[in-house]
Amino acid sequence: MSKFMRYSVLLALPLLLITTGCASKKQTKKEISGLQAQVAALTDEVVRLDQSLQEARGGSAGSASVAQPSPVAYASAGSGPMYRTPSGFEVPAMDIQRALKNAGYYQGTVDGKIGAQSEAAIKAFQKDNDLEADGICGRNTWAKLKAHLSSSVK
């Protein structure tokens, strides 16, 4: 192989890698954006279906939730009200309050009603545990919070 051919290959190879790498990154970003749009659409659909279910059961998902939509829905279970996020994650609401109380973040009554005081406690717990402080007890928050479920009150 001549010297010219070697230099041509050595120059062309990195150029080829750079060019194809950028196209690949653009394609990956497009795919991620598409998946995020699908997740958002599915989340909206789950929330809509949950509200319809609550209305069909005679719940209070009517005008109050339209005026101020909540990201969390509730359903009754044998152990009390269930706390459900738009993604479909569920945990008993009383367990959340009990764990927050045991961890020292909640001073209210453990009644299974996640209101402003419970949401503030969730946010404080999330902030102290390097989680997104959105006040919603999703999978990541519950993974850390459930360790306090059986511990004693601090």
> For residue 102, how many other CB atoms are within 10 A of its CB?
19
Same domain, 78 and 57: no
**Residue 41 lies in domain:** 1-69
How many domains, in total, are found in the chain?
2
Q: How far apart are CA 106 and CA 103, in angstroms?
A: 8
Same domain, 29 and 56: yes
Q: How far apart are CA 29 and CA 26, in angstroms?
A: 5
Digitized pLDDT (tens) for each residue of the chain, 154 residues in all: 666 666 666 666 666 656 655 556 777 777 776 776 666 667 666 766 766 676 677 654 444 433 334 555 555 445 678 898 878 889 999 999 999 999 999 999 999 999 999 999 999 999 999 999 999 999 999 999 999 998 765 5
Same domain, 59 and 23: yes
Count of positions (residues) in the chain: 154
Same domain, 140 and 110: yes
Same domain, 26 and 80: no
DSSP assignment of 106-123, as one string?
--S--SS---HHHHHHHH
Same domain, 99 and 138: yes
